[in-house]
Amino acid sequence: MECTHKKFAKETIEKEIFDLKFRHKTDVCKDCGAYLRGKEFEKDYMHWLKRIYKKRRDKFQVQCSFSNNLLKCADSFLEDYPGISHTVLMRLLVTVYVNVVDVNEKLASKFDSLLDSEIYDSFLNDKDKKKINIQFKPKMMLDLVAISEVTDMRPYQIAEQGALKMMSAITSQDKKLKEFWEKEIRSYLEIFLKAA
């Protein structure tokens, strides 16, 4: 039977993230040990993360491997955006994928059904790979951690997969996928590219 959390006591909880411990005093259920994540908790947590972010940028970095053919396609896409590196593009692709596509179940499954598997697989299976460190902001890193907790995937795998899907849509000549990209995703990426 699920606990209905009737009796609480103030306790200091420890939450582990990025191999560090966040401590916070909050209401803890006396029966099951669940703790309350109210406004105070979230505020404190964000403050703590921002402090960590200043000192430990490496904790907000994800190391991905991308095939050279994918990076070549990225570079040719970026010819229209001088000054933006393919590392920055990968960060933007992951950001748009997670915040626009992945949060919208309908959009995500439509995207998957249109995905150009030939291109996706060529990016995925190319043995010639390069490691790239992508630096995220705290909020984005939290999103990746949250997704990783429910999908059994590591944050770097989520980032790789998102970037691969986005790059295969950019590269594909498939008419339906192109239409979908233009209508549903492109404008979001443009906003980020302009701000980068």
One of 23, 31, 63, 76 touching Zn ion (CB under 5 A):
31
Amino acid identity of residue 176, one-letter, is K
Rule CB under 5 A: say whether 153 interacts with Zn ion: no
One of 3, 103, 146, 196 touching Zn ion (CB under 5 A):
3
Bridge partners of residue 129, in order along the sequence: 67
| Contact set for Zn ion, span 34-73 (CB under 5 A) | 34
The token pair that represents 89 in the structure block: 């593009």
Rule CB under 5 A: say whether 30 interacts with Zn ion: no
Rule CB under 5 A: say whether 29 interacts with Zn ion: yes
Query: Least distance from C-beta 138 to Zn ion, angstroms?
Result: 29
Rule CB under 5 A: say whether 17 interacts with Zn ion: no
Query: Least distance from C-beta 35 to Zn ion, angstroms?
Result: 9
Between the CA of residue 83 and those of 68, 90, 102, what are the distances in Å? 20, 14, 28
Instruction: Please state, in angstroms and rounded to a whole number, the distance separating the CA atoms of residues 112 and 133.
Output: 26
Instruction: Please state, in angstroms and rounded to a whole number, the distance separating the CA atoms of residues 99 and 106.
Output: 14
Query: Least distance from C-beta 1 to Zn ion, angstroms?
Result: 11
Query: Least distance from C-beta 22 to Zn ion, angstroms?
Result: 21
Instruction: Please state, in angstroms and rounded to a whole number, the distance separating the CA atoms of residues 60 and 38.
Output: 24
Contact 98, 140 (CB under 8 A): yes
Which residue spans within 107-168 are E strands per DSSP? Answer: 129-135
Rule CB under 5 A: say whether 178 interacts with Zn ion: no
Query: Least distance from C-beta 143 to Zn ion, angstroms?
Result: 27
Contacts of 109 (CB under 8 A, 6+ apart): none
- Select the span of 21-29, 44-52, 148-156, 166-174 touching Zn ion (CB under 5 A): 21-29
One of 32, 46, 103, 196 touching Zn ion (CB under 5 A):
32
Which residue spans within 84-193 are E strands per DSSP? Answer: 129-135
* Residue ranges that bind Zn ion, judged by CB under 5 A: 3, 5, 29, 31-32, 34
